Structure formats: structure tokens, C-alpha cells
Amino acid sequence: MYILPGLIVFFLVFLTVIHRVEKRAVWPFGEIQRQPDSQWIDLGGYTRRWTADAQQAGFMQLGWAAHFPGGILRVTYALLVSPDRSTLAVIGSGTAGKMPVQCTWLHSPATDGRLFYTTDKQSGVQLDLSRNWTNQLVFASSFGDLWQRHQSWLQAKGIPPRTFPAGRELEQLRSVREEHFRSMSQAGLIAYTDPSGQMFQFTLLGAAKTASLGYFLGLMRAVTRGAFPKEI
């Protein structure tokens, strides 16, 4: 009778340690290139297929970038902006060690400084206890389905969009991310590990809260196929 509680405690401690010791980048994209690296392996053709679907929906390609810093995460991202410039799509695939990684994020900043994003994988959820970022998980079978669900969600919430200026889309996304992590630092959830404020680690408090809440919310979403909780 103690096996299940013991396993839960083990996983919570393990996830807390991972969150605490892992160094993360405020800006997780390397040099922006016109084409992906020739050594990149697009598992199952996920990124190229979803990128083609996005372009068919009117998204404009901004470039390709490898994950920074590399480490065990060998992922390449396609970066695109929506026709109305309200949403920046990040479509990535690769590996984390020997585990496959395939995920898409649709980022839509609001005029009040908040960010709303939709992702198609639980692994793509970046839990934010400061509530500056809000996400919904949609197990979509195509980019078009994910895009439609993202638009419907924003319309239902009445989010005032903050558009990405032409030629400065990635610059604005970087600014949004920097503002976000500054607020997390001020809340005591993370601590920067370099003077420039570009790398960070979760504090012990931030790691424990993020790991435990993320574990239980992720479990509920997996059981309900993303229906509950609909947004975090």
C-alpha cells in the first residue's frame, strides 16, 4: 500500500532536483539561419511537414535555429510569424539524449504584457507560477488544427493582441521572454547564473513548486487529453 505514495514522492524529488540543477537559457535559440543544419534529423518529418502546413496557412518563415545551449538537447526549430503578425510559431524536433522530441508552440503576446501560448505536447508546457504566461494543451493532429484552436481560445478570452513588427519579430519575442524571466526572478522563482541575465536556474522554492504542480497538472491533462485543466 506504500508503493504508490513512495513512487510519487520519488518522482517529485527527482523532478525537483532536475529543475534545481539544470541551467536554462532565457533565449533558447542559437544563430538564426536560412536552412536547418545538414546534420539535423527531422524525426518522422514532423517539423518539415508542420512548417509546410503553417506556410500554407499564410505563416511567413523567419528562419531556423538550433537549441541553445546544446547539451543533451539536440533540437532544431523552425520559426514563423502568422499572417496577422499576432502569433509567432516555433516548430521543433530532435532528441533529448535518446528520447525523441517533437513539439510546436504558438506564442501570442498581449498588450498588457502577458503571453498566451498553445502547444501540442505536454513536454512543451513551460509552467509559470507567476501567471505571466498562460498555456493550453491541444493534442492536435495537424498544424492547421492547432492554429484554429489557438485562435478560438484567444477570441474566447478577448485577448488584445500585441503584433510582431515586420523585420523585428524575433527581437520582440526575445524582449517578451526577458521581461517574463525578470518577473520570475523578482518573485524568487529563478536566479540568474551569469551577469548578463541570459542563463538561469530555478531556486529551491521555484523548483519544488514548479516540479510538484507540473507533475500533478500534467498527469490530469494526460488522463483527460488536455481537457482539464484547459489552461494553466
Q: For the chain, give every domain's residue range.
A: 3-190+212-224
Percent of the chain past pLDDT 90, that is, above it, reads 76
Q: Look at residue 109 and tell me whether its pLDDT is greater than 90.
A: yes
Q: What is the pLDDT of residues 2-19, one digit of tens each?
A: 677 778 788 888 899 999
* Chain segment 19-58, per-residue pLDDT in tens: 999 999 999 999 999 999 888 989 899 999 999 999 999 9
Question: Residue 131 has what pLDDT?
Answer: 86
pLDDT at position 5 is 75
- Cα separation, 60 vs 42, whole angstroms: 20
Residue type, 60: M
Report the SS3 class of residue 76.
strand
- Residue 108, classified by CB atoms within 10 Å of its CB into exposed (0-12), middle (13-18) or buried (19+), is buried
| Average pLDDT over every residue of 164-180 | 96
CA dihedral 37, 40, 43, 46 (to 10 degrees): -10
SS3 175: helix
State residue 37's pLDDT score: 86
132 touches 139 (CB < 8 A): no
Cell of 59: 505563416
> Is residue 60 very low, low, confident or very high in pLDDT (cuts 50, 70, 90)?
very high
Grid cell of 57 as nine digits: 496557412
pLDDT, position 59: 98
pLDDT value at 204 more than 90 = yes
Q: Which residues contact 138 (CB under 8 A, 6 or more apart)?
A: 118, 119, 120, 145, 146, 149, 150, 226
- Rounded to whole angstroms, the Cα distance separating 214 from 209 reads 8
Top pLDDT among 53 and 161 is at 53
The per-residue pLDDT of the chain, averaged, comes to 93
Predicted pLDDT at 209: 94
pTM: 0.94
Per-residue cell: 172: 520582440
Place of cell 520582440: 172
| H or E element, residue 120 | none
Q: What is the pLDDT of residues 111-145, one digit of tens each?
A: 998 999 999 999 999 989 888 999 999 999 999 99
Q: How far is 186 from 191, CA to CA, in rounded Å?
A: 9
Residue 1: per-residue pLDDT: 56
The pLDDT value given to residue 2? 63
Distance CA 43, CA 178 (A): 31
Q: What is the pLDDT of residue 230?
A: 87
| pLDDT tens-digit map of 63-73 | 999 999 878 88
